[in-house]
Structure 1
Amino acid sequence: MRLSVVILISIFIFSGCYVTKQTSRIGAESIKGTEKQIGDEVITFDVLSEPSLNNPEALLQFSSKQKYQVDQKIKYSKNQKRRGIAGFWAYVGIPISLAGIYINSENDNSISTVTSSVGLALAFASIFTKSQRTKYFYKQGEPKIYYDNPQPLLSETIKISNKNTVKPFLTNDKGNLKFSPLNDFQISSSNSDNSILFKLYHKNISLDDLNLKPSSWLSEYARIDVNESYIYNMNNLNSEIIGLALKSKKYLVNDKVNNFINIDLSQNNNGWVTSDDCELIYLCPSNVQEDVSLPKISIITPSLNRGFKVVYSKNSFNIQGQVFDDSKIKSVYVNANMVNFQTNGFFNKKVELYGGKNNFEVRSTDASNNVAIKQFYIENSTNLQAVTTTNASVDLKAAKFHALIIGVEDYNDINITDLDQPVSDAQKFYNILLSDYTFDAQNIKFLKNPTKEQITESLEYYFDNITEEDNLLIFYAGHGYWDERFEQGYWLASDAKRNNRGTWLSNSTIRDYMRAIPSQHSLLITDACFGGGIFKSRNAFANASVAINKLYELPSRKALTSGALSEVPDKSVFIEYMVKRLSQNKEKYLSSEQLFASFKIAVINNSANSQVPQFGEVKETGDEGGDFIFIHK
């Protein structure tokens, strides 16, 4: 009986001899006879070609396809491995089962004998049992959605819209459709190269959107957005100036390198302008009919064949040249003097020469306001000093030079950020004026962190005490602010309040004092954010005049600022390079315009935000074309 129990236990062991190790998904199989059509046809399109300058049409290909559904069943596999005990039974179960059969037959126990016989059969079966086996089974899966092969959408209407314009187009016998953003939708300009959106519809059903970049069918232009921008012959500020681009002029862009843009000047000519002076836009070339070719300037005498350096030993010289242009020449200037020219463009201008380097600039403007520039200098080898054309001579040494130096960095209002550098910058400027130039200590007022009232009291002092033979220099370093709504610039004294304009010192007040103070020359130097707001119109001058006496003879009201209508950093490279140039200067007489030209490029190249210093006359203050002259000790 016990042996029969053992046999029964072994039967249970054999029945569970396999264990499942892994179940895997093999794949999906479609169930035949369950396929059916669902939904409407789907319309798609491909862009075969985008519009271009040579072909302004876009070519699209449309196709239709039908959606279907079919039921699926998912096939799985079971990987099974034989248990170790089943293998053991193949070798042990046979003798045990035979013994059970014999013992039970002797005892005439038929049930136990049958049981032992079954155990024997299972033991033999265990010998042929595989060590691994795989079983497969199926489960119901999600229906499969698919499309049939696309077919061309023939002779169907497609509506294309852009903004408020909607136009219908018909596909041809190949399912193709052509449309032109330029001709069909009049998209002939764009302020950027961002994609332009077109929406497509078929039977009032929205299709995928179409995005096209305007640069594919429009050309890139540089539109000048400052009053004047110099045109250079190479992409750096130290290269030769060949012309002047005026505000709103549009030039085709050839190339862009760093901060410079190469523009097409027609007739196979090109030049470079700074990217800060223009805005990039996209236009249809056929819509741009502007004449942008520069007049041609030919200098006959002096001869410039061997470069721009010409040495001469007399105190006057006749500059002769000729100007050409396809349109009418409107004017010719030599430096700031208009000269007459003949119908063939020939001109002759007698100029005075002074000892040393004499800079000259010839400007020619045509009827389309294209300005060509030719710069050169004549070096006078004599020691002749500047003399006036009037009988009276101007005695520069006899004049008094006054200076009001203001540095503000500590502000009472906690809402106005304190600065670190203005007072030390003002101190550097004070030191160089006192040590190297004809400024006496008793004629210099140095205000450190003054209030608005203290600044105006100082201006009142100069109004009451300066004479027409004296010169006044005003220097300000501190916070500046430009108010867009008032179109007014301000200085912020130490007692300024952030939310009270009445505590700020306006540029108009500064201009009023500059106009009223009866000096021969007044020069304003500001190192502040938005300092360029002092100019009602901003004009920068690149050429320094050599006729020092003439510049001094005519009254002037000039300003030199660290930037235009933009922010400038607390650590000022403007002051650094201005003081450096003043200390390096070896000339006896240095005009403020020459000073500006000597360090402008250094400031642009070495400032963190590429600030562009400005120089020009302060409008409506009595400037008559002269200049402030620094006299070296």
Structure 2
Amino acid sequence: MKILLLLLFTVISSFTFAQSKETLFDFYGKGYYTSSNLKVSKGDRINIEASGSMIVGPFAGSRTPDGADYTGIFGQNYNLIASKLHCALMVCVNESMQSIDYSQVNWQVCGSSYQFTSPSSGYLIFDLNELTNWRHDNSGSWKVKVTIETADIIPPKITLTQPNGIRNRGMKPVPSEMFQIGIAGSVTDDSGVKSLKINGEPVSLSLDNGFSKVVKLNSGENTIGVEAEDTRGNRAELQFTVERTTNPTPKESFGVYHALIIGVQDYQDPRISDLVYPVTDAKNVKQMLLDNYNFRAENVKLLLNPTFQLLENQLEAYLSQLNNMDNLLIFFAGHGRLDPISKEGYWLLADSKNDSRRTWLSNTAIRQYIKGIKTKHTLVVSDACFSGSLLRTDVTNTMVLQEIYALSSRRCITSGGYTTVPDESVFIRHFLRVLNENKEKFLTSEDFFRSFKQAVIRAAKEIRGPESVPVPQTGIIPETDDLGGDFIFVKK
């Protein structure tokens, strides 16, 4: 699928006004007045209010800012601008604060009250409509208040996180069955976002202004438009073309599969009891993935009895090594702990100390790594005590396969909720059985989970009795930017 960026942001609406500033000054009429506070931009709305009286010249007498129709005692025109009222307060917009060509600027009589929209950028210049050589006798002043409302012409900012090809203008292969694409991102605006549409259809925004939508694709070129409008009527539109031209094989279309398999059974602290089966379980999981599913040996990391630092180093490496064309499966078998007060769950590594939480890997840290590793799909499988504390409430997914893969996912399958689990794992036995017996080409993690959950519960009851049976759980890992998709096992 080829993705071409056609058009960036376009302002569609007229000006609206975001903020205002007010300037007060006394105008004495002996020369023009301006200041740096009176700088304006094209489209700004100007409101002027003036009051008071001024003694003008030896004959005209008292004048208000509105001026008067006056030709002088000898029938002469004493106006600076002949067509305007005598001694009226005038205003213009000039590029400079110093150099004014009176014959070129467009003077307007503002009088005691006046509003207008600035036709250009520059400075407001105020002057008295009277010849300059008659001003030396002027006395008194007018009080002038100028309010400048700044035009808001900035449209919302649309940021797309999916599909990634828009950012790189590259090729994005999809299988022939994949006739849809996930669109996701965020939209921001200082005045607030009013609405968002994708291909003309309204899309709801999350609390942090994120959005996601699955768009169907036709053969050939598909133009997709994302349009946002802020609360002041400014709009931005992002358009791009998705060209569906090839029918890659399933292995190519579902990206590269990586696995991090961890088994911890030998603990250095004698206060933490050793286990018997996690290393064997981890080896069996690795072999099952290599033999039956789309995992290559160079992409499968097996950590047996790793230290806290060794596991963190590998997770840190994934932050920079993996991208949204990759899929990651993380498997952990070992001891787990639960803080009874905070309900925070932990994985215990080979060098963890029985009484030091600093040496335990917390669920919070795991979630942060999962959020930071920018894979297309990440699935965590945890066979440890209290591993259910990693999850929030179950989410039922009824989307078709194409839609499921189009959106990123961050999910987890655990061997139990807030309970202990046995060393000899019934969970792992059925986990491997289902992977081995599966005949489907594509298997989502939810379908996979449903196929062995009841078998695990029944087997656990036979061993432990009806009380305190660990119940396997699945769900979304919270706060990891899951968009509603799912991890898909691809059979060789």
Length-normalised TM-score, structure 2: 0.48
Higher relative contact order (CA 8 A, sep 6+): 2
- Structure with higher Rg: it is 1
